[in-house]
Chain A
Amino acid sequence: MGSDGIQELTMPKWGLSMTHGKVVEWLVPEGAEVSAGTEVLEVETEKIVGCVESSAAGTLRRHVAKLGQDVPIGGLLAVIANPSVSNAEIDRFVESFSLEEASDDSVSDDPAPEFVEARGRRLRYLKLGEGGQPVVLVHGFTGSLDNWLFNHAALAQQRAVYALDLPGHGQSSKDVGDGSLEMLIGALQDWLDVLGLSRVHLVGHSLGGAVVLGMALRSPDRVRSCTLIASAALGPEIDAEYIEGVVEANRRKELKTYLARLFADPSRVTRQLADDMLKFKRLDGVRDALGKLARNFVANEKQVAVFRKELERLRSPTQVIWGENDQIIPSSHAADLPDQISVELLANCGHMVQMESAHKVNQLVLSFLEKTDERFVTT
């Protein structure tokens, strides 16, 4: 935070490989009011386009970065201050802002992913934040811990938040055993055991939602709460062509058309995003692993595992979040759930709702976690 109530808005770091971002569009003009969480500008990285949110309340006094400019992580994007602060003071602030300091900070405490061996499988995870009731983020089919690049740091401000690469995914072991959902649930439990996490909040996206739900049904005492985002296992419908296509596609162009279905706004799929998926798919063993997982996940164009009937006996507090324009798993699966499950539908979002509406999803998860923790304290 700057002096005299002047606050800087700097380039965030989304994901492990980001080094800089390009300013695409200002969403808030100079002179307008912002509050914490207001989406101020759109930034494009090599991989994805995302929104930078205001960290403070006040007047957006200055667009410091130019449209199209490449700004390194920690570089100054904008200045927020009250109207009482003079332009001269803002000039001085911009001039004295030292990128060196800012970027050194962000580099030195850059957390790196770690690996553990859990029942013969090497699993990769990234831990951010400390303390509180820990949270574990579980990605979906063909995903990795990078799927949480807009969420992980925001959720980890007050507590430890882990993001895991499931077996067959990211940089975890490509051994998926029989490829069943039970295997994935077992692997999550093994990993929790190795890390000594006895009871956690679980957040699962898509296939990861089915893993989280399965875990909560199997071992309710290990699960403090469930957040299910565009989750599998809540109904039979799924875009089976997508699942098959994303496993089979071996060319960038072809893969890109499938990946576009993940977003309400397909322009979010950059070439780099498709290239990264190709790089992952070309690792030895990945194709087999994904094929096995896919056959256990979808058969006859329907989801194999549907836990709808079991939801009544779900003991962990649960919330469901869905993008209204989800083309992979329809948001209608969020309808008619038991009363104790809270449901949030987000407009103009597709399957990757935690990327497309990161701020709203982060707010929903944080307030749900707080509420759940309070309930545990009082009872």
Chain B
Amino acid sequence: MARTLSFQQAINEALDQEMARDESVILMGEDIAGGQGAEGEMDAWGGVLGVTKGLHAKYGDRVMDTPISESAFIGAAIGAATSGLRPVVELMFNDFLGVCFDQIFNQAAKFRYMFGGKAETPVVIRTMIGAGFRAAAQHSQSLYSIFTHIPGLKCVVPSTPYDAKGLLIEAIRDNDPVIFFEHKKLYPLEGEVPQELYTIPFGEAEIVRDGEDVTIITLAEMVHESVKAAEAMAEDGVECEVIDLRTTSPLDQETLLDCVSATGRVVVVDEANPRCSLATDISALIAQNAFDALKAPIKMVTAPHTPVPFADNLEDLYKPNAEKIASAVREVMEYQTWEATASKN
């Protein structure tokens, strides 16, 4: 049987193997040192959810705890990247990225462009996304669309342990700033992961499930909810194709348009807020380039335009899930053009 790792272990292994391979790779972040093999109190840590556990014992000073000052240590990592290191910096929750927007948007993202292609910034910012953790409005957002908006940044949003390892290694070896979004609900997810090092190129969506009736386009944890919805719909004879974007910048437009042209029906599933989002971006892409192929309006399944609620029952209502996705699939399947409706009457 092939070897399985959790999503969290796959990230740890990618960091470990790249640090062993390339000594310019260093780790920075709040509480990321410690964990297995470290002494005393240090044993408890390895990142807020233990993703970097054990690496401090193995690589010593190359795994650096930072003060609770995101603007300072993100800026330091970006500076280190421009001067020869390959820092992988952990910024606990993506909700906190707001305090270091200048370093990311105005500095890291612009260096290559503003210095005539002569500056490279091989920094990876790892950060957690996602609701469903009972962690309230400031620790539960999915903000990848904000970073996808900025030219000069690459955005990675993996959904499986296999992809997490291959995309993180690709991110570390990439010479541009990469924001690597980890959905915290996925950390315990198990899957097949090769022991060997491997990379997955950016800008290649994964077709997770084949189907000829409806294309579901999604990412991160929603990939799994979409597959659940697709399995349920298959029992009613509707076959859904499920596409996992894997990276939002660059975006695999070719695969999206090819798939939509074949099925003609689209449901875009995104757990983020709906305005100016990945869901609207992809809907616009399809409306502009594949309008002729559409048999029904594009349907978006997203969170509402509100903060993530703290109350358990409200948070459950807030997130898209397999039932909501399945009902959107039913809607696009049952859609009839006004001509068809008129001719019936």
Q: Say if A and B assemble together.
A: yes
Contacting residues, chain B, for A271 (C-beta < 8 A): 207, 210
Q: Which of B26-34, B109-117, B195-203 contacts A (4 or more CB under 8 A)?
A: B195-203
Given A253-B254, A284-B197, 14 additional A-B pairs, CB 8 A: A16-B2, A17-B2, A112-B1, A171-B194, A171-B196, A253-B255, A279-B162, A282-B166, A282-B198, A282-B199, A282-B200, A283-B194, A283-B197, A284-B196
The contact string, 1 if C-beta is below 8 Å from chain A, for chain B 263-304, is 000000000000000000000000000000000000000000
B192 to chain A: closest residue by CB: A17
Residues of chain A lying within 8 A (CB to CB) of residue B194 = 171, 279, 283
Minimal Cβ-Cβ distance residue in B for A17: B2
B-chain residues with CB within 8 Å of residue A17 when the two chains form the complex: 2
Candidate in A112, A253, A282 with the most chain B CB atoms within 10 angstroms: A282
Residues of B within 8 A of A309 (CB): none
Instruction: Report B-chain residues with C-beta under 8 Å of the C-beta of A251.
Output: 204
B 197-237 binary contact with A (CB < 8 Å = 1; else 0):
11111001001001000000000000000000000000000
CB of B333 to closest CB in A, whole Å? 19
Residue A219, interface by CB 8 Å: no
A87 at interface (Cβ–Cβ under 8 A)? no
Q: Is the CB of A284 within 8 A of B198?
A: yes
Within the complex, the shortest CB–CB distance from B187 to chain A, in Å, comes to: 23
CA distance A31 to B245 in the complex (A): 49
Choose among A16, A250, A253, A283 the residue that contacts B196 (Cβ–Cβ < 8 A). Answer: A283
Partner of B198, one of A252, A253, A283: A283
Interface size on B, as a range, is: 10 to 19
Give the B-binding residues of A (Cβ under 8 A).
Answer: 16-17, 112, 171, 174, 250-253, 271, 279, 282-285
What distance in Å separates the Cβ of B107 from its nearest Cβ neighbour in chain A? 32
In the complex, residue of chain A having the shortest beta-carbon distance to the beta carbon of B254: A253
Cβ-closest 5 pairs across A and B: A284-B197, A283-B198, A282-B198, A283-B196, A282-B199
Tell me which residues across on chain B come within 8 A of A283, comparing CB atoms. Answer: 194, 196-198
A to B CB contacts below 8 Å, 12 in the list = A250-B201, A251-B204, A271-B207, A279-B162, A279-B194, A279-B198, A282-B166, A282-B198, A283-B194, A283-B198, A284-B198, A285-B196
Cβ–Cβ < 8 Å partners of A279 in chain B:
162, 194, 198
Residues of A contacting B258 with CB < 8 Å?
253
Separation of A251 and B196 alpha carbons in the complex (Å) = 21
Least distance between A368 CB and chain B CB atoms (Å): 33
The CA of A125 and the CA of B180, in the complex, are separated in Å by 37
Whose C-beta in chain A lies nearest to the C-beta of B206? A275
**Bound complex: CA A251 to CA B207 (Å):** 12
| B residues near A250, Cβ cutoff 8 Å | 201
Closest CB-CB distance, B215 to chain A, in whole Å? 14
- CB B136 to nearest CB in A, in angstroms, measures 39
Docked Cα-Cα span, A271 to B200, in Å, equals 17
Give bound CA distance, A88 to B1, whole Å: 41
Give the residue name and chain of the A residue nearest to B17 (CB). A284
In the bound complex, how far is the Cα of B198 from the Cα of A210, in angstroms? 29
Bitwise interface map of B from 1 to 39 toward A, beta carbon under 8 Å scored 1, else 0: 110000000000000000000000000000000000000
Shortest B260–chain A CB gap in Å is: 15
Residues of A within 8 A of B196 (CB): 171, 174, 283-285
CA of A279 to CA of B165 in the docked complex: distance in angstroms?
A: 12
Tell me the complex Cα distance, A282–B198, Å: 5
Contacts of A112 in B (CB 8 A): 1
Cα distance A364–B194 when bound, in Å?
36
